[in-house]
Amino acid sequence: MSEHRVASPAVESPRAALETDRGASRSFWVASALLAGIVAWMGSGFIIDRETDVGQVAAEAPQPPSVVVRQSAATTVQLSFSAQGQALPERDSEIVTEAAGTVVSLPVRKGQVIERGDVIARLDARRAEAALAQAEEERSRAQRELDNATTLLDRGAGTADRVAQARASLAAAEAQVSSAQETLSNFTIVAPFAGSIEDLLLNDGEYAAAGTSVARIVDSDPVTVAIQIPQQSREWIAPRQAAQVDFITGQSREGVVNFVAEAASPETRTFLAEITIDNADGAIRSGVSAEVTIPTREETAHFVEASVISLSSEGAIGVKAVEDDIVHFHEVEVVRAEVGGVWVSGLPQTARIITVGQGFVREGETVRPQAEEARQPQQASAAPPEVEATR
């Protein structure tokens, strides 16, 4: 019996099937093309975005900072020296006795205005008056002797020696009279100069020895104001300069510098100066405080607010200005101070001074200056920035 075998269908591998299937092959290539497209799209988008970002960064680069400037021109200002002083009297003296005796009369009182030669006090002078009377009697006797000797000489009965002796006796008697008169005058104390009685140091009936103070007299016409000048200002002050003197009492007077010391005080290293002021009416009292202002010289300077002043890194004070849109730092010196600002020297004749923003820019930096007149209302009313150190 013969056997019949049925042949089984052959099983193909997936790879073989894929190679023989044309539809599957097309799907593979389509997928590959899509993947390549996606990669190309993503790469092109990154490049485009990067180029866009670089362009935006370049377009958004910061501009130079903006500052507000004011055109300033230098002007001539009068500089002056000011100092505090004190009014002093022309003379302030204590009157003393040259003789000893009891006070018998005080015809003045405290505060009384007196003239030169007015009697201040009288002492008991009875002994001095007796001595004067005796000296005068002796002088009369010597005069008679000289007359007799001269008559005898004329008649030939006298000698020249006798006449000479009588003349010498008369001269001695006259000297005694002069001495007695001077001694008597010392018992009357008179004012040596005009002024006011500041104090009386004796009373009626009190005994005063020779050299005892009787009264204090003050002469306040003219009045002198004494000030101290520092070493750095001494060269600007000289005699005969005019001075304005404002007293603490509210009075103001014109004066003249009449003395400036050549040597400084060893204790303070300052120079004494005195200003003389007419005080015929006696309105200026001795001892009151005063402020003296002496014009010294003229100088060219700019007026700036204190907020405009800056400090350099070395600590020098200065003002920042703009020239050709570049910041320049100019060292300055304050030559005069006022309520609203200061006068400074060291700037060019004309300058564009930075008034707002100077604390945020440095020397050599490029800026965008904006004229102060063109500022917006809200900017104009803004408070000025504080002084900043130059960076």
Q: How far is CA 28 from CA 16, 252, 264, 267, 378, in A?
A: 15, 112, 111, 109, 72
Q: What is the radius of gyration, based on Cα positions, of the chain?
A: 54
Q: pTM for this one?
A: 0.59
User: What CATH number belongs to 67-75+299-380?
Assistant: 2.40.420.20
Q: Distance between CA atoms of 286 and 217, rounded to whole angstroms?
A: 12
The residue extents of the domains of the chain are 67-75+299-380, 82-86+220-298, 125-186
**Residue among 321, 328, 253, 334 at smallest CA distance from 290:** 253
CA distance 177 to 172: 9
Query: SS3 of 125, please?
Result: coil
**Can you read off the two tokens belonging to residue 151?**
């008559």
Q: What is the pLDDT of residue 197?
A: 92
The pLDDT of residue 4:
43
Which of these CATH numbers, 3.40.50.2300, 2.40.30.170, 2.40.128.120, 3.30.43.10, describes 82-86+220-298?
2.40.30.170
Give the model's pLDDT for residue 311: 87
Q: From first to last of the 391 residues of the chain, give the pLDDT tens digit.
A: 344 444 444 444 444 444 555 555 566 676 676 777 676 666 555 545 555 555 554 456 678 888 899 999 999 998 889 999 999 999 999 999 989 999 998 999 998 999 999 999 999 988 888 999 999 899 998 888 888 888 888 887 778 888 888 889 889 989 999 988 888 888 999 999 999 999 998 888 889 898 889 999 999 889 999 999 999 999 999 999 999 999 999 999 999 999 999 999 999 999 999 999 999 888 899 899 999 999 998 889 999 998 899 888 888 899 999 999 999 999 999 988 888 899 999 999 999 999 898 888 888 889 888 888 643 333 333 333 333 333 3
**Domain 125-186 class, CATH top level:** mainly alpha
